[in-house]
């Protein structure tokens, strides 16, 4: 990836370990989740839901 997607540890991990093609696949999945669940990205709970799903999608398991 050519950029760090988020200013947190997960964003840094994605930057170092995920290729651009895989990131593009996540973006498609993220949009499906937002639409399916009607997420409001101004809400912290929606952001946490997406971060958890992103970690699962990209890395296979939650690492906290």
Residue 12, phi-psi category: left (phi > 0), alpha (psi -120 to 50), beta (remainder): alpha
Band the pLDDT of 2: cuts 50, 70, 90: confident
Q: Taking the domains of the chain in order of start, what are their residue ranges?
A: 9-57
pLDDT of residue 40: 97
pLDDT tops 80 at residue 63: no
pLDDT of residue 25: 97
Nearest to 27 by CA among 62, 61, 63, 3: 3
Measured CA to CA, the distance from residue 33 to residue 49 in angstroms comes to 9
Measured CA to CA, the distance from residue 17 to residue 14 in angstroms comes to 5
pLDDT tops 80 at residue 30: yes
């Amino acid at each position: 990836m050519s950029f760090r997607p988020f200013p947190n540890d997960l964003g840094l991990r994605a930057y170092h370990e995920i290729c651009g093609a895989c990131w593009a696949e996540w973006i498609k999945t993220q949009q499906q989740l937002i639409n399916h669940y009607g997420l409001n990205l101004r809400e912290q709970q929606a952001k946490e839901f997406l971060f958890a799903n992103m970690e699962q999608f990209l890395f296979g398991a939650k690492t906290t």
